Structure 1
């Protein structure tokens, strides 16, 4: 049977609304779910839902810190089946991280088996590993059985789970947290628990303590991998005051003397969340690419601890200089961003300061204390009610026994009996004086049920006195609890006492409680230029026409015979040093920079220069020259446009080079020459020569330039600069130097056509 489109049932099941509103509402629902149930931690216990459910499931499995281990697959399966309807792989990854002492400052899970390592290796499969709770994790859940927090139904309504943990210590700051939500993120580093509790004690005594005073107690993060924080103190204060900032972390290192003047550097602690294996690979890459010439070798001698050995190139190298270069070029120095974006009361995301986070924890502890106290009072009242019934039984033992023996409904009879006056005891007990009875009248149902369930062995004088003592003790405890509920000062004092117990159990006096991350001044490591790290040696740079480049050791004769690949020939050869920067001008008008120390050796044919810089295949090399700081260069295109550029402006910092001369289709860079003198000489393909003052050329950092010489056909062939008073020199076809002292015939304004070159000018239209 088909339903007609105008069926009223369809009209009731559908509704019309704008697409933008529908998408907006649904995306907002998704965003809120991500923020509240996945990415951001709760400020009260510092846990995300997945971590909270893992710990609660392990508690339900009775995996205490002193008990046995259970398979991780069992734990993740229970979490997924009972509380967290997501993938078991994600649950196991979250649980494994809680067991990694290089990721978590105070591990909440005690793992047995392969749970990964600092090299970045993944944990073994969940069927191979086992886990249980740690002692500090158990303190997070103290009070769950005492109505300390609210519970809510799980995802299918068959069980209940805690909304938040009671949290006996500030776990949010102690272990840190990170997550990315929709439109917001959080990144909180771990801190030292002893320092956090000291700060809490200060806030308990002086709630108005400013953030700057708290930073004196908590100087900065305490990472599980140690390291050295080199962030300035003022920057740390600003970060904790605003909830946003960053910390610079460096590896901890020391110089190890090998005798006879030899030494090596040993790194014993690396920055937080840096994978040691990738760090070693990066250091090896720096050696291979010669980016840190002072470093000769790196070895990983780590076992249970971290030990990375760095060998210098020579014994004369300064350790501070070497480490300064490595800090700039590797993850031996990193930055950890601080973004304390947390959920306040589990509902409102907010970027909090250090004081606000600690205040949220303390307020939560007060709520937990009040709820646990109320729960304890309720238990005491229930026990006192039963004790009163027991005491009535002992004071009226014979009557109680008669009722139980002969009455058809002893429970109803016990409740209906008037116990206002105790019945006489046996004659053998006439010397025993019973204590005065506080409660008189009828028994309650609870008391009657307890009396009927009483064991016969309990009907002794000694048991009666024990009940009296228990009742008195409970009455005294209840009075103390009533005072506690009525006086906020006693409440904060009790919270401080509980924190002191946690500090004693997990503080700096314990093996894992001492601070691991230290502080230092970043200025201790000298910042030096790259060239200062290179040993200065003479080299001879050779580049072929096809772009194969090499550097031979020493200054070999420039006219010596050099071998090239078949079909290739030499084009550039000049003397330089390893500390020199080599400038390469491509036909595309871009300058590229090579370092003499990084050029391939003279053995063999060298390497293609296009492997070192991003020079396009269709752009040939126009010029290869040494960079001289402070010089000026004349650069021109084949169209006859050019300008003067400072040599320091053409040095490129990346492989992509630096665009200096702007060229369009059909035009390419023609030349670059060092400026020497006060006059420019330009010759075109038409052999017309033009001489004009250098002052007519602008000095620019980049651009197309101005017209040097006017052409009808062809373009620029060559250009040079010289001192007009000394004349213009060139080599004639016979190789003899010819000097033209009087250039008045060729002198004209810039952008003129010029006149034919003098007799004897080279046929290739080149000045050199």
Structure 2
């Protein structure tokens, strides 16, 4: 048991090298991170492709799967990709191939698929032994000129073959089809755009190299998703996103309201936001309906065929369609924020977040480099051919002598070179010449070809010598792409539109569910509430609990909100539609919200919005508050007036006029201007009237010019004119004087 075990390889273990774990982890993780960033997750800014997509297209080119040719099994394509270029799992390569063929994933598909390539419901594609594929015209454009030394090639992983480092990329694929990827420590998310718009922006950069992002956004107003939809992001936000390379686009589903007769309707959604799986979306909506989180929606059905058609039935005919959709936008993926994080590889090596102008500049510089390289390659081909043609023309001019040398010389090649001062290539071409090409016409053909090639050479040399001419040629190429994918074509037509987001009041959601009907609200002294149907004038027949009687009643509607003021300075909100019916005595309001036993209800009023209220406490303090500040959203209510016991909230009066009249329990009256009372959203308030004993009895606001009115115990109305009120006019916090003759003994204004 005590025997020492040596490490593999035998020996004494002297070959073991101790290393620092932290350094080893850092080094290895950095290598992994770099390989993920460079070789897997981030697209190249020049052709907009990640390595796996580039390898798929290259393999399809080698299989001669050009547009219009016969389809080949996807299994064959995947086999070639993983066998020659991409030593990874077959499923990951097939998934990438499938995505390139999906017209709801790619704005301009690179692969033309035959068979089941999945759908927007989220169903997977059929296995690769069943499906077939070939390239589209877009893929052909990306590869155009690849065999003309336009791009660099490198050895594949096993060094048996070669693969392109980048594709020539005549199509603006990065922005047109977008890209998503998660690397290590960074990610990319580029939504699809309209190719014709990108070409317009690129042409604008060539014509105006110093242009701004704002100029480019005039050409590229925003993404163009394959699934359509409506972008409701603001212009300033879109501009900032394209300027910085980071942002998001708020996108909504497209919908119409379809009339179903007799005042009923249904909502039809015809386009959903990009990247949303329809099957999962409907499941989520159905769950929300069951959980009663979408109270405006009665049902959802999927009636889609090839086109999307989601049908939403409203809960009732009174529900506003825009309101129903707003609730769906708020809670479901019918509204999505599609991120923009333009993190790309510049020159195929540097990961960087770039703006719209920089990413287009990178593509344009690549297109110019491809043009120069293709032109140089063509020039070398022409030079070789011209050399051969010059030799063949010499041979035709001296055909008899050439034949004689070939027949008699021991080494015909050397003899020809010596006699006619030919190059090795020219002598070889003469010796390989066929007898049938000795016809007289052939010499004319050679001279014609020589002339055409010489002219072409001159044009290419001019092009290579002039940067302006190079940019002109690049513009011409981009113009052709723009024409091919113009907005007049079915593929190039813009699918996503722009609109302003309609902001709907959240409170309107609940109201939309309620049938609008008149009610009469009845509140008793002991705090019981009920709602009688209709507007009832005569309440004499109403019955109350023992020792209880009518406190307040008013006309309202089922959609109304009621504000309930309590002595502790809190305000509670009740919904008119949720009040108990008028058959019995109603229900105590204490059960409807959280009010402690030691506090009472001061007043109940209908919320109308936009008004101002004067709140006053028993000790004579008060302030003005906006009615909109009084609405409470919870059972706990909203603390408005701070009162310390034994003080309590005593009066609430809606402001009418320019003066305040305050009467105390000591039967003293003071009148002062309303502007002496501050407006606050909450607080303890300021002193309205000064007392030696007792407290505030009542308060009223009125227009001084109209005089002060009150009702006596016999229900007669008394009015004291402005000039007769002189002796009671004073300032806030005055003690006041005994009221005029005829003022009620209960110290109330009535």
Aligned match of 1:390: 392
Any unmatched runs of 5+ in structure 2? 518-532, 534-556, 563-572, 579-588, 599-628, 650-693, 698-750
Residue equivalent to 2:146? 144
Residue 472 (structure 2) pairs with residue 493 (structure 1): yes
Cα pair distance change 1:9/1:153, threshold 3 Å: farther
What are the ranges of 5 or more consecutive residues in structure 1 without an aligned counterpart? 420-441, 539-553, 555-575, 582-592, 599-622, 637-645, 653-659, 661-671, 681-691, 696-722, 727-768
Offset, 1:725: 12
* Secondary structure at 1:281 match in 2: helix
State the match for 1:684 in structure 2: none
Contact 2:296 2:509 in 1 (8 A): no
Shift of 1:269: 0.6
* Structure 1 equivalent of residue 434 of structure 2: 455
Q: CA deviation at 1:73?
A: 1.2
Query: What is the rounded CA distance, in whole Å, between the counterparts of 1:72 and 1:5 in structure 2?
Result: 44
Conserved? CA contact 1:342–1:350, under 8 Å: yes
Over the aligned positions, Cα root-mean-square deviation in angstroms equals 3.7
Change (3 A) 1:50 1:580: farther
> 2:318–2:513: 8 Å Cα contact kept in structure 1?
no
Q: CA deviation at 1:534?
A: 2.2
Render the CA deviation track for 1:50-70: whole Å, top value 9, x for unaligned.
Answer: 110011011111111111111
Q: Alignment partner of 2:430: what SS? A: helix
Cα contact 1:633–1:674 (8 A) shared by 2: no
Which residue is equivalent to 2:592?
A: 626
Alignment of 1:550-629 (within 5 A): 625-627=591-593
Kept in 1, the 8 Å contact 2:104–2:227? The answer is: yes
Asked if 1:513 corresponds to 2:513, the answer is no
Query: Please, which of 630, 634, 648 is the counterpart of residue 651 of structure 1?
Result: 634
1:480 has 2:464 as partner:
no
Residues 6, 381 of structure 1: alpha-carbon distance in 2 compared, 3 angstrom cutoff: closer
Map 1:91-130; keep pairs closer than 5 Å. 91-130=93-132
Distance of aligned partners of 1:596 and 1:297 in 2 relative to their CA distance in 1, 3 Å threshold? farther
Q: Structure 2 vs 1, CA of residues 404 and 2 (structure 1 numbering), >3 Å: closer, same or farther?
A: farther
Aligned to 2:244: 242
2: CA distance, partners of 1:280 / 1:480: 61
> Does residue 31 of structure 1 match 2:10?
no
Instruction: Label 1:487 to 1:14 Cα distance change in 2 as closer, same or farther (>3 A).
Output: farther
Query: Helix, strand or coil for the counterpart of 1:146?
Result: coil
Identify the residue that residue 708 of structure 1 maps to in structure 2: none
Deviation of the 1:320 alpha carbon? 1.2
User: Could you tell me which residue of structure 1 aligns to residue 444 of structure 2?
Assistant: 465
Q: 1:528 to 1:363 in 2, by over 3 A?
A: farther
**Contact 2:514–2:558 at 8 Å: present in 1 too?**
no
Q: Is the 8 A contact 2:117 2:124 kept in 1?
A: yes
Q: Does structure 2 retain, via aligned residues, the 8 Å contact 1:152–1:162?
A: yes
- Equivalent positions of 1:225-240 (< 5 A) are 225-240=227-242
Q: Are residues 2 and 242 of structure 1, via their aligned partners in 2, closer, same or farther at CA, if it must alter by over 3 Å? A: closer
User: Match for 2:257 among 255, 258, 261?
Assistant: 255
Question: Deviations for 1:114-162, whole angstroms, at most 9, x for unmatched residues?
Answer: 1110101111111111111111101101111000000000001000000
1:179 deviation in Å? 0.6
Aligned equivalents of 2:186 and 2:575: distance in 1? 43
What is the distance in 2 between the residues matched to 1:343 and 1:5?
Answer: 43
Kindly provide the CA deviation profile for residues 57-91 of structure 1, in whole angstroms up to 9, marking residues without a partner as x: 11111111111111111111110111001000000
1:285, CA displacement in angstroms? 2.4
- Is contact 2:320–2:512 with CA below 8 Å preserved after alignment? no
CA distance in 2, matches of 1:651, 1:284: 28
TM-score by length of 2: 0.70
Deviations 1:569-595 (A, max 9, x none): xxxxxxx999999xxxxxxxxxxx999
Which residue in 2 is equivalent to 1:375?
377
1:192-271 residue pairs with structure 2 within 5 A?
Answer: 192-271=194-273
Please tell me whether the aligned partners of residues 193 and 513 of structure 1 are also in contact (alpha carbons under 8 angstroms): yes
What is the distance in 1 between the residues matched to 2:382 and 2:323?
Answer: 70
User: How far is the alpha carbon of 1:523 from its aligned partner?
Assistant: 2.6
1:339 is matched with which residue: 330, 338, 341?
341
Residue 85 of structure 1 corresponds to which residue in structure 2? 87
Q: SS state of the match for residue 279, structure 1?
A: helix
Following superposition, the deviation at residue 111 of structure 1 comes to 0.7
1:473 Cα shift?
0.7
Aligned counterpart, 2:607: none
> TM-score by structure 1 length?
0.68
Deviation, 1:693, is 6.4
* Cα deviation digits, residues 585-611 of structure 1 (max 9, x gap): xxxxxxxx999999xxxxxxxxxxxxx
Q: In 2, Cα distance between the equivalents of 1:472 and 1:307? A: 63
CA deviation after TM superposition for structure 1 residue 511, in Å:
1.1
Are the counterparts in 2 of residues 635 and 673 from structure 1 also a CA contact under 8 Å?
Answer: no
In the alignment, the residues of structure 2 paired with residue 26 and residue 624 of structure 1 have an alpha-carbon distance, to the nearest angstrom, of 68
- In structure 2, distance between residues paired with 1:149 and 1:594: 73
Q: Take 1:248 and 1:469, find their aligned partners in 2: how far apart are those partners?
A: 62
| Residue 173 (structure 1) shift | 0.3
How far did 1:17 drift?
3.5
Indicate conservation of the 8 Å contact 2:102/2:109, yes or no: yes
Separation of aligned partners in 2, 1:174 and 1:449 = 49
8 Å contact kept, 2:102–2:118: yes
CA positional deviation for 1:315: 2.2
Shift of 1:506: 2.1
Task: Give 1:647 deviation, angstroms.
Answer: 11
What's the CA shift for 1:650? 8.2
Provide the secondary structure at the position in 2 that maps to 1:110: strand
Could you say if the C-alpha distance between residues 626 and 385 of structure 1 is closer, same or farther in structure 2, counting changes exceeding 3 Å? Answer: same
1:443 has 2:445 as partner: no
Q: How many residues align?
A: 569
Shift of 1:266: 1.2
Q: Kindly indicate whether the alpha-carbon contact (under 8 Å) linking 2:630 and 2:640 is maintained by their aligned counterparts in 1.
A: no
- Structure 1 pair 278/454, CA: closer, same or farther in 2 (3 Å)? same
Q: Distance in 2 between matches of 1:339 and 1:296?
A: 39
Q: 1:393 to 1:277 in 2, by over 3 A?
A: same
Deviation (angstroms), 1:409: 2.2
Tell whether the 8 Å contact from 2:46 to 2:347 is kept in structure 1 after alignment. yes
Partner of 1:587: none
SS of structure 1 residue aligned to 2:218: helix
2:617 alignment partner in structure 1:
none
Deviations 1:1-57 (A, max 9, x none): 99799999965x554442211111111111111111111110000000011001101
Question: Are 2:328 and 2:334, in contact at CA under 8 Å, matched by a contact in 1?
Answer: yes
Q: CA deviation at 1:280?
A: 1.6
Q: Deviations over 1:307-358 (max 9, x none)?
A: 1112222222221111111111111111001100101001111100000000
CA distance in 2, matches of 1:477, 1:103: 43
Distance in 2, matches of 1:452 and 1:9, equals 71
Change (3 A) 1:94 1:389: same
Cα separation, partners in 2 of 1:278 and 1:409, compared to 1, 3 Å: same
| Structure 1 residues 297 and 382: CA distance shift in structure 2, 3 A | same
